[in-house]
Chains A and B, each alone.
Chain A
Amino acid sequence: MTNVLDIIKRRRSIRGYTDQQIAKEDLELFIDAANQAPSASNAYPWKIVVVQEKTLLRKVQSVSPGMLGKPAAVMAFCTDREKTGSRGGHELGLMDVAHAAQNICLAATDLGIGSCCIKSFNTEAVGGLLEVGEQYEVCYLISLGYPSGEPVKLNKRTVEEAVILWQ
């Protein structure tokens, strides 16, 4: 079994992909991983739209400037307005989505599939293309695909740089 810390350290934002398709079982595994993430009050105020069809992928990408390369699939997280309508519900919903998205990225890394989380997209335009309806708001995208080339080299900050106070 792969060490979880090893997967965490191997995960990178991948912005270049090969043409290889991702198996449906793998995408289902990613959604199952997302479902294991914590959610405030066990509410899970989000759902996912999976896009693999090439023409729709291109259209979604055209209104998502933060999406680079040619991903094999995109998962669009949508918050459920009926569940996030209460006080503070929207922020909690976004936190839940972030937990779930990280699980998807880590599960993808474990299978050798690249991922990139994207916030630079037009919410209304993507929502319209995906026809999610009024109940849902597209809030986060994950592009997925088998990596081509190396990711951008980044220096991750140190433990000391992350800590304000340790008493």
Chain B
Amino acid sequence: MRLFVCIKQALDWNSSTKDFRIDPATQQVAVSFARHRIDQFDEIALQVARQYRDRTGGELRALTVGAEETDDVLRHAHAMNVDQSTLIETTGQQASTAQLLAAAITHYGGASIVLCGRTSSDNGTGQTGPALAEHLGLPFIANIVHIEGDEHAWLCRCETPTGYELLKVNSPFVASVTNAASNVPRAPTMKDVMRAHRAKIDVLAAATLCPAPGSGLAQNTRVTRRYIPETSRSCRRFDGAPHEQANALAMYIRSLSIGA
């Protein structure tokens, strides 16, 4: 059984919001704290894949698309116990991420299960998983929280707008993963991190995987501008003794006439 998890690098979203700004020259986010790590949504996908692999077996490979320095996220995936990892190395603008991931998965002989994060914390389009399913010609399942069962008789627990449903799946599939109490990523131990440091990372050149990318999602839109909307609120502070503060808060809440 071949399991793939597609991951990407993002800003560390547990960092402070204070320094978030867009550089007008590059149209990129410029943050002085700028610490990069694996995207939090993808980390949850890794956790679900690893839980399934640990119970059922199979080989788990992490895939990422990016420049050479992006291999940090694959080290993190190794610390979370993936068996193999691949950097699809890009040099400049090429095929779309979904096209490259599909080509890499085909290169490895196809997949039983491909998992992605529900969305990403930077662009937040949520398009890579569904587009990847389309490129691979596989069904797509949204918002999985847990997978059980064996090859071609998988049981997927999925979040719906109103609750959860259980789907039986009898063909290979691509799915997005969403968070639940059962899949909170386990922090790697020091031993995991040391082992991850020595792990071998495979590299595939994007230009070789997709020599003629043609038309993909990436080619059909162009960013003309990025900016931070004016949403900051001027915070009114209530000082004084606790009972004065509580009184001011109560007055404020009443003024909103929420109808409690």
Partners in one complex: no
Interface residues of A (CB under 8 A from B): none
Interfacial residues, chain B to chain A (CB-CB below 8 A): none
